[in-house]
Structure 1
Amino acid sequence: MSTPLEASAGRLPRQIPYIIGNEACERFSFYGMRNILVQFLTSSILLAYLPEAERAGMAKDVFHSFVIGVYFFPLLGGWLSDRYFGKYNTVLWFSLIYCAGHACLAVFEGDRTGFYSGLFLIALGSGGIKPLVVSFVGDQFDQSNKGKAKIVFDAFYWTINFGSFFASLLMPLILKKFGAAWAFGIPGILMFIATFIFWLGRKQYVNVPPDNADPDSFMRVVLSALRTQRSGEARPGYLVAVAGVVLAVAMLLGWALTATGLVSGIWPESFGFVITACLSLGALIAFGGWGASLQLERARGLHPDAAVDSVRAVLRILIVFALVTPFWSLFDQKASTWVLQGKEMVMPHDAWWWPSWLVSEAGQLQALNPAMVMLLIPFNNLVLYPWLRRLGFEPTPLRRMGWGIAFSGLAWIVAGVLQLWMDGGDAVSLAWQILPYALLTFGEILVSATALEFAYSQATQAMKGVIMAFWYLTSTFGGLWVLLTNAGVRNETVTAHIASTGLSENAFLMFFFAGFAFVAALAFALYARRYPMQDNYRVA
């Protein structure tokens, strides 16, 4: 066995630059198209069939439906990779789908069917590779050079934010000056380059074969717990899980009957397929997890105690993740609601410090997020956290996550105040949006970066892949809350209530989401107080 010194002195795998190059181009392509999507839709002919007042709401629906897909399809990519094709083949094939989606956006900028098909393909391709690339990097290391892995993972993090920064800064300008074909075409070209770079390294990669033969996987332990009968004992967990399946099927059936016009009134017409599918998935996870927790001890004897305890840990983590979903409903709206708000603000060209030569579109302010991330993470680690410890306050992962959710709520309070200022008829400088962006980014660091650290420490080695799949779903359900809210404000009773408050719809919703975050932060804090912390880091 190699010593730590020998491991850290090992050579960096020669194939790593191919993966890093792929990631840099892919992230630029993704954020390049994602961050101009709402501003393109609001002014495109794709939504010309709607009254002008409804276009912004529909653009937000399309955007958040897309985000939901991006964070749902990791389930499919991970399953195909683990069971059938391995990481390299799965990443390559999903990348080709990804390229096809970009091509659709560029070619069908004026055709709804073609454009939305492109968004679906990008969601499928981007989501399909999302859970695989980082673990594929890990596969390239062994005991002789594992000390170099941290360098590569740090490079990955900076690459993601580097690509996001320049894509957010440049693509709104391309959209404004050269039109949608170029604005969506350039990210497509970058994705093609990303795929080509990844393919170039094919003969050098370490390819771990797929292995789905684990008899003690998460799903197998859960199914054993639910199915096992004991003489003279009821099966409450099984009944709860079955109730979740029945509820999920009933919602999908209600949507289908309503959508086809066969039956009316059994399912809200404003709840389209995406909302219904997400609600159904939520019912399966919530009731299935609850049912499994009630009968989990029945899996002992059929599976090792360690496997059963690991599943118990995952079920506890799922509650933490569920309480994080409101954060994502606020965070992802920086690319939709905040962009729309920024378009109504005044560009501060008269300010001496404003870079007018570069920043001339409200959507470009999204570049603040990755820029601040790269600055705030070292600030937190080197300055803020040590200072808090000197004051006697230990910033544990759960405390950081709870405060992160609260800071996101504070960001939306500031955004709501800016909206009130605008609603009063004043010309408000876009520079004021820097403050909510800073607060939201600070919250993101406390939640997102910390959650991965928390989940890694709580989940056993065998369950870390399952945890990552559930983590991606937190963004899916964050998008669901936004779609449900948008559907709600189309109800006459809800709009009448908003009008009775004296607030504009935009201001009301900003304060509503802030309140949503504060309630979630409080619930998170209450649950965190009784959460039994684990330590599942690998023994050296």
Structure 2
Amino acid sequence: MQEKTAPTKPRFPKSVPYIIGNEAAERFSFYGMRSILTLFLVKQFFNPAANPALAQQADAHANKLNHLFVMVAYALPFVGGMVADWFTGKYKLILYISIVYCFGHLLLAMFDTSLSGFEIGMLVVAIGAGGIKSCVSANVGDQFDASNQDLLSKVYGWFYFSINAGSMLSTVAIPLVYKYYGPKWAFGVPGLLMGLATVIFFMGRKKYVKVPPQGVNRNNLVFITWYALTHLSKKKPGQSLLDIAKESYDPERVEGVKAVYRVISVFFFALAFWAVWDQCLSEWTLYAAKMDRNINLGFTSFQIEPGSMSTFNTIFLLLFIPLFNYVIYPNLDKIGLKTTPLRRLGAGLVLTALSFVVIGFTHVSIDHGGAPSMWWQVLAFLILSAAEVLVSITGLEYAYTHSPKSMKSTMSGIWFLVVSFGNLITALVNGLIEDGGWWAKNLAGANYEWFFVAFIAVFIIIFMFVAPRLKERNYITDPYMENEVIVDTNNL
């Protein structure tokens, strides 16, 4: 009788430590430079003499550049993902663009007294950060196969931990480096960490599973949409616009593109969140510089640097993610308040507006010569972090569950594009303020916050009317998902 052999215990791929280490160092470099970016631009280039008459335009100019930087960084993952899938493969793209990324940090450190040189450095860093973003997380999944796929959720947990660890350490350390050692070191240290990230990634080159590029795939959102728009004359009665493309493209892929556009209709409302979220790393930093940031513990006292205030966001996120997933959502479900993705999104938008109400009142105090306690901004961070869990994490989940397998990477890229467009909106508003005139006059002081509260409120009102009418198609829970059965969820 043949003895039964015990099943082999699944193991983490040997490449995982290199990927985790690379991500922690890269996020340190990205969030480290962002923690001081707006303050540096104002103090170094736009209002070095701290002239009150120039303050509004200077702040707006710095905020505009910051949001344009983020816009580029989050627009490029969509492009980077396609280049990797079609031409280079993920490994080569990550390695080569990481070197470009390092060069961008070098430019920031070199040109701390030259605005044009510094702006080129910002652009290169944005290209580096955005170029690799969609590939790094996908590269994690490539390392697993049927023998150890059960460990995938755990490794993504460590991957997310490394992101937050790198972010938290950098937002504490880099503002202190800036204060005591100046901008060259403050921008140079993130560059050194990006160099370390590149070295760590390269060290794992013989251990990675490297998925080769697949060549240009015509059956994607861009090609299918373009074909449909340029062949409108072929549309038959009863056909949807995209059905036109079925005569030249894989019908299943065309249905997948339809799913993408359904998800985009939900993503539209997340645009309100992303138009304001990154202000906590730009505008809020400028407010923090005018607040009382002294901490007295009795046995010691110290002052928190303005750029370090965003550390609270990371802390609250690490607390809120398990709290919402294991306590709040299950208990609300038990009492009959089902926490559907659309309900989470709506609640997140309300909390986002509330966080800006808090910041608006602190800005009123600053406008009247006061120095409000930093704990008011901490409260705003607490509310905004809860909103982030409800909007950002729910958005990523919605993108995954409501798109077919062939379109999941595309949906991740589109989610980053929503972040990009949100920052573009804020950059345009700051550009109008910078130019003076009506915008500068009417959005002076705390009116800036009230404008964005009203902006979010418009999205919330539209969402209340549209959400009950949105048709959802869940490709995970729907047993007929491959047959494109529509589930009409009007139980909001």
TM-score, normalised to structure 2, is 0.90
* CA distance 1:497–1:159, shift in 2 (3 Å): closer
- The aligned residue for residue 166 of structure 1 is 169
Q: Percent identity?
A: 36
Superposed, 1:365-514 pairs within 5 Å as 365-489=309-433, 490-497=435-442, 505-514=444-453
Native 8 Å contact 1:101 1:122 kept in 2: yes
- The aligned residue for residue 484 of structure 2 is none
- Give 1:197's match in structure 2, choosing from 193, 197, 200: 200
Which has the higher mean CA deviation after the structures are superposed, 294-303 or 31-40? 294-303
- The aligned residue for residue 142 of structure 2 is 139
* CA distance 1:350–1:150, shift in 2 (3 Å): closer
Note the C-alpha offset of 1:328.
1.0
Any stretches of 5+ residues in structure 2 without a counterpart?
1-5, 480-492
Give the 3-state SS of the residue equivalent to 1:131 in structure 2. helix
1:31 equivalent in alignment to 2:22: no
- Return the letter of the residue paired with 1:306: E
| CA distance in structure 2 between the aligned counterparts of 1:118 and 1:13, rounded to whole angstroms | 36
Any stretches of 5+ residues in structure 1 without a counterpart?
235-292, 499-504
- Return the letter of the residue paired with 2:107: C
- The aligned residue for residue 490 of structure 2 is none
Note the C-alpha offset of 1:46.
6.4
- The aligned residue for residue 316 of structure 1 is 262
1:224 equivalent in alignment to 2:237: no
- Return the letter of the residue paired with 2:195: F
* CA distance 1:68–1:213, shift in 2 (3 Å): closer
| CA distance in structure 1 between the aligned counterparts of 2:380 and 2:69, rounded to whole angstroms | 24
| CA distance in structure 1 between the aligned counterparts of 2:235 and 2:375, rounded to whole angstroms | 68
- Give 1:90's match in structure 2, choosing from 72, 93, 109: 93
- Return the letter of the residue paired with 1:23: E
- The aligned residue for residue 306 of structure 2 is 362
| CA shift digits 1:219-270 (9 cap, x unpaired) | 3322332344656979xxxxxxxxxxxxxxxxxxxxxxxxxxxxxxxxxxxx
Note the C-alpha offset of 1:402.
1.5
- Give 1:520's match in structure 2, choosing from 450, 459, 467: 459
- Return the letter of the residue paired with 1:369: N
Native 8 Å contact 1:102 1:188 kept in 2: yes
Give the 3-state SS of the residue equivalent to 2:390 in structure 1. helix
- The aligned residue for residue 10 of structure 2 is 10
| CA distance in structure 1 between the aligned counterparts of 2:232 and 2:286, rounded to whole angstroms | 56
- Return the letter of the residue paired with 1:526: F
Number of aligned residue pairs: give it.
469
Which has the higher mean CA deviation after the structures are superposed, 100-109 or 482-491? 482-491
- Return the letter of the residue paired with 1:114: G
| CA distance in structure 2 between the aligned counterparts of 1:219 and 1:76, rounded to whole angstroms | 11
Native 8 Å contact 2:278 2:423 kept in 1: yes
| CA shift digits 1:389-431 (9 cap, x unpaired) | 1221011111111211111110000111111223333331122
Note the C-alpha offset of 1:59.
1.0
Note the C-alpha offset of 1:519.
1.6
Native 8 Å contact 1:46 1:111 kept in 2: no
**Which of the pair has the greater relative contact order for Cα pairs under 8 Å at 6+ separation?**
2
* CA distance 1:527–1:176, shift in 2 (3 Å): same
- The aligned residue for residue 249 of structure 1 is none
Note the C-alpha offset of 1:43.
1.1
- Return the letter of the residue paired with 2:176: L
- Return the letter of the residue paired with 2:157: D
Alignment root-mean-square deviation, CA: 2.4
- The aligned residue for residue 266 of structure 1 is none
Native 8 Å contact 1:46 1:110 kept in 2: no
* CA distance 1:230–1:107, shift in 2 (3 Å): closer
Note the C-alpha offset of 1:347.
2.2
* CA distance 1:427–1:215, shift in 2 (3 Å): closer
Native 8 Å contact 1:29 1:167 kept in 2: yes
Give the 3-state SS of the residue equivalent to 2:355 in structure 1. helix
* CA distance 1:481–1:391, shift in 2 (3 Å): same
Which has the higher mean CA deviation after the structures are superposed, 185-194 or 77-86? 77-86
Give the 3-state SS of the residue equivalent to 1:84 in structure 2. helix
- The aligned residue for residue 109 of structure 1 is 112
TM-score, normalised to structure 1, is 0.82
1:330 equivalent in alignment to 2:276: yes
| CA shift digits 1:482-536 (9 cap, x unpaired) | 12212333342334445xxxxxx12001011112112212223332211111121
Note the C-alpha offset of 1:149.
1.1
- Give 1:529's match in structure 2, choosing from 453, 459, 468: 468
* CA distance 1:506–1:209, shift in 2 (3 Å): same
Give the 3-state SS of the residue equivalent to 1:12 in structure 2. coil
